[in-house]
Amino acid sequence: MQSRRDMSTATVWFAALCATALALTACADAPNAPSALDAASSSAAANAPALDRRNGDSNGPGAVYTLTNAAGGNAVVAFHRAENGALTPLGSFATGGNGTGGTLDPLASQYAVVVNATHEALFAVDAGSDDITSFRVAPDGALTRVSHVSSRGTLPNSIAVHGNLVYVLNSGDNTVSGFRVGGGAQLIALPHTTRALAPGANGAAAIRFTPDGRRLIVAERVSNRLEVFPVRENGRLGDPVVSPGNGSASFGFDITAFNQPIVSETQGSVTSYALASNNTLSPITASISTGGNAPCWVTITADGRFAYATNSASATLAGFAVDAGGHLTSITPNAQSGAGAVPIDLDHVGNRFIYTLEAGTGTIGTFSINADGTLAAHTDVPAGAPASGMQGLAAF
């Protein structure tokens, strides 16, 4: 098995390919006390799901976070978010662990850093030291480190949270492990929850609970498949059900309030899926084009009406209208991120803003969401050195 240091060095080739259409192939083959989630509701008038369970739909201020993923000491870079979406630096908060270093998308993942539904706790991966870290979130968005614990696997790259249950995806050994969240964002390992992915897993990229908390889904970009684990009442997982990805290299995803995953496909498309009672997935809208190259990350707005994907090799964000049945319709034109931006991870705030980590320039991009789902770009904010291995984005 490659060492984490070797893996960080190997990501240099990805940086070169991202500048061209060949990044399409590169992306495919590259390597609180928290409380229960907000209750789901639906808006018949809009024919779409209601409030998002991570971000709610608050019009007040919040915060945006990303990871340095530095091999010599990982840290969360934090920004206070004003009501108008503007970002002000809050500082860098050490995790107590190490990242992997690298250049562009070294973890090849989504959800390397996540915030819980009540915006009181933040969780981050330390992929270089095989740990995860939890922080308490202050009202202004500043962080206080609470826990630094083993991920119980190797190369953790993605985290899922639902209420007081957290699962981490360990991409190095193809396992998942569970934790309970105690008072003040304390992480406590949940016994007998480390589970192997199904045989043949390769390139595990993202992990996420369905909004009802009853399933846990993992996307695998190299083996190009999706695994669905049933979640038991005690927080442990049942056996996974494997469904093939519709396109090639299924990568990042988000899930509608109706338990419909919308998954990026790095050949230049996204697919929405229906989740059956037997935990199989079947396409609803199959491989709809993003109009760009190497889409690898997806987020869905709070009201469920729109989904967005980053075209990392084309420096654009692609938008889609989403109906209650999970059908996707393209929104044009795409929003531009700027030359050399290489937008990777992204997240949203309610129905109002999209933020993206522009790894090529080391900046955070801000976009306001118009009523028709089109995006309007705002001024980028510096977050770190260009192509320095930063990873993950979380916003509220």
pLDDT tens digits for range 290-310: 999 999 999 999 999 999 999
Domain residues for the domain of 71 are 4-395
**At a CB cut-off of 8 Å and minimum separation 6, what does 13 contact?**
26
Number of independent structural domains in the chain? 1
**Element of type H or E holding 12:** helix 12-18
Q: Give the torsion sign (CA, 364, 292, 217, 163).
A: positive
pLDDT computed for residue 58 by the predictor? 56
DSSP-assigned letter for residue 304: S
Coil/strand/helix, residue 34: coil
**Which residue in 264, 173, 255, 270 sits closest to 215, CA to CA?**
255
| pLDDT band, very low/low/confident/very high, at 60 (cuts 50, 70, 90) | confident
Q: How much is the average pLDDT of 166-181? A: 98
pLDDT computed for residue 149 by the predictor? 98
Is the Cβ–Cβ distance between 51 and 38 less than 8 Å? yes
Please, what is the average pLDDT of the chain?
88
pLDDT computed for residue 82 by the predictor? 97
Coil/strand/helix, residue 16: helix
pLDDT tens digits along 67-104: 999 999 999 999 999 999 999 999 999 999 999 999 99
Angstrom distance (rounded) from CA 278 to CA 334 = 37
For the purposes of burial, counting CB atoms within 10 Å of the CB of 216, is it exposed (0-12), middle (13-18) or buried (19 or more)? buried
Angstrom distance (rounded) from CA 118 to CA 101 = 31
Angstrom distance (rounded) from CA 388 to CA 106 = 9
Residue 49 has pLDDT above 50, yes or no: no
Q: How much is the average pLDDT of 264-278? A: 97
pLDDT tens digits along 178-225: 999 999 999 999 999 999 999 999 999 999 999 999 999 999 999 999
From its phi and psi, is residue 232 left (phi > 0), alpha (psi between -120 and 50) or beta?
beta
**Between residues 20 and 105, the one the model is more confident about:** 105
- pTM for the complete prediction? 0.87
Estimate to the nearest angstrom the gap between the alpha carbon of 269 and the chain centroid: 17
The Cα-based distances of 176 to 34, 251, 290 in angstroms read 20, 17, 30
Residue 176 has pLDDT above 60, yes or no: yes
**Element of type H or E holding 134:** strand 131-137
Q: How much is the average pLDDT of 264-269? A: 95
Angstrom distance (rounded) from CA 341 to CA 363 = 8
pLDDT computed for residue 333 by the predictor? 78
Residue 160 has pLDDT above 70, yes or no: yes
pLDDT computed for residue 386 by the predictor? 98
- Domain CATH for 256: 2.130.10.10
From its phi and psi, is residue 105 left (phi > 0), alpha (psi between -120 and 50) or beta?
left
In the chain, the percentage of residues whose pLDDT exceeds 90 is 82
222-229: long-range contacts (C-beta < 8 A, 24 or more apart)? 222/28, 222/29, 222/249, 224/248, 224/249, 224/250, 225/200, 225/201, 225/250, 226/250, 226/261, 226/263, 226/273, 226/281, 227/197, 227/198, 227/201, 228/275, 228/279, 228/280, 228/281, 229/176, 229/195
pLDDT computed for residue 338 by the predictor? 85
pLDDT computed for residue 19 by the predictor? 37
Q: How much is the average pLDDT of 115-142? A: 97
Residue 55 has pLDDT above 80, yes or no: no
Residue 40 has pLDDT above 50, yes or no: no
Angstrom distance (rounded) from CA 28 to CA 25 = 5
- Report CA dihedral (123, 317, 304, 55) to the nearest 10 degrees: 30
Angstrom distance (rounded) from CA 287 to CA 271 = 5
For the purposes of burial, counting CB atoms within 10 Å of the CB of 33, is it exposed (0-12), middle (13-18) or buried (19 or more)? middle
